[in-house]
Amino acid sequence: MLASDDLGATLARWRGWLVQAQTAGVRHSGGQRIADALDLAAQQQPERLMDALAAELRAADGLGPLCRWALATLFTRGETEAFARRLLVSAPTSARAAVALGLAATTAAWADSVLAELADDGEREVRAAVARAVGWGEPPSAMRVSAGLRACLPDDLFSVERLLAGLTREGRELSLDASALEVVHAILAATASAARPDGELVKT
């Protein structure tokens, strides 16, 4: 990959292979190899990869799901907010989710802001990625915790459980303020209501 004169063309070719395999109903074995190659490129030729990904991730069937580790590597390289926001312009769902997951690698304040924006994304997949990123990363800021919880609205109980488990891993203490607790309660109430055929809320 790194020897290629045109990384964009290489990524497009890889995407074509994956699309063909998916269309044929065959599980493609190259996914992890592609993810590893992308991460290596992020480490060794970051500028070239950033330009190639900015174009590739706009494709509806792009390599977004395989890019999160490469994006994590890129996002730890100094000031990369402009790059992250460039990726989100006209980005399909898979690309927005990949960006959210990649942001788990950095505790920069700008990343908190981007995650807070993605927490209100219209697609559940993207919001779930935000919650996952907040739970994965280093001890997060209050703003990031708030974004992670808000991303689980209205009723993504699975993501809430995974998020809280991540925030308290390795014996970490977690203190939620009143507004955060209100969000958790709202999610529990919505989940309980959905589970009741009569629509009545149960006590939580």
Q: What secondary structure does DSSP assign to 112-151, as a single string?
A: HHHHHHHTT-S-HHHHHHHHHHHHHSSSPPHHHHHHHHHT
d(CA 73, CA 78): 11
pLDDT of residue 45: 93
pLDDT, tens only, 124-183:
999 999 999 999 988 899 999 999 999 999 999 999 999 999 999 888 888 888 999 999
DSSP type of residue 92: -
C-beta of residue 94 within 8 angstroms of C-beta of residue 68: no
* Sign for the pseudo-dihedral over CA of 23, 25, 30, 36: positive
pLDDT of residue 204: 41
Domain boundaries of the chain, sorted by first residue: 1-106, 126-204
d(CA 202, CA 204): 6
Average pLDDT over residues 187-194: 86
